[in-house]
Amino acid sequence: MQDRSTDFEFLPIDVSFDRCLRYYEQLGVASFAKANNTTSFWTSFNFRKRKRGNPTVSLLTTSFSVSEWGVNNFATTSGTIVNSYLTNNDAVYVQLGGFTGTSAGTTGTVTSTFGVSNGLDPIIAFNSEL
């Protein structure tokens, strides 16, 4: 039995950060979003690093919007996660709710509310700690 701890392993910052992303990640801008009814959009988030396990999904803010590429902007201050499912450990589909005035089939891009930030602040977190 050893009476002392092992030496600390110094790793480059990028290696440590890369390892951390396997467990936790915050994302702001989602890819393509499509309304499936008048109150919610399905969208997907691609992880920067494959997750170690199936992550839990949580909102960091309830204020975000879906921009219909210069046509309309659907914003909510009472956003919710209606549903989510993992396609693999590289990406997840999330149904975001709390919208009004949308129509099924409306498409756009999910971002944080522009008035609060530059539109790129994280809105959602994925935690796959075991």
Instruction: Give domain status of residue 117, yes or no.
Output: yes
Query: Is the pLDDT score of 130 beyond 80?
Result: no
pLDDT in tens, 54-85: 889 999 989 888 888 777 888 888 999 999 98
Q: What is the mean pLDDT of residues 20-49?
A: 89
Count of domains observed in the chain:
1
Q: Tokens standing for 50?
A: 């494959």
Instruction: Give domain status of residue 22, yes or no.
Output: no
Structural domain boundaries, residue 52: 27-127
Q: Return phi, psi of residue 9, to 5°.
A: -90, 110
Q: What is the mean pLDDT of residues 10-29?
A: 90
Distance separating alpha carbons of residues 24 and 118, to the nearest angstrom: 23
Which residue in this structure is represented by tokens 């309309």?
72
pLDDT in tens, 98-116: 999 889 999 998 887 654 4
Instruction: Give domain status of residue 62, yes or no.
Output: yes
Distance separating alpha carbons of residues 6 and 117, to the nearest angstrom: 44
Instruction: Give domain status of residue 58, yes or no.
Output: yes
pTM of the model: 0.81
Instruction: Give domain status of residue 90, yes or no.
Output: yes
What is the overall mean pLDDT for the chain? 86
Instruction: Give domain status of residue 12, yes or no.
Output: no
The 3-state secondary structure of 42-80 reads EEEEECCCCCCCCCEEEECCCCEEEECCCCCEEEECCCE
Instruction: Give domain status of residue 105, yes or no.
Output: yes
- Quickly state the pLDDT bin for 20 (edges 50, 70, 90): very high
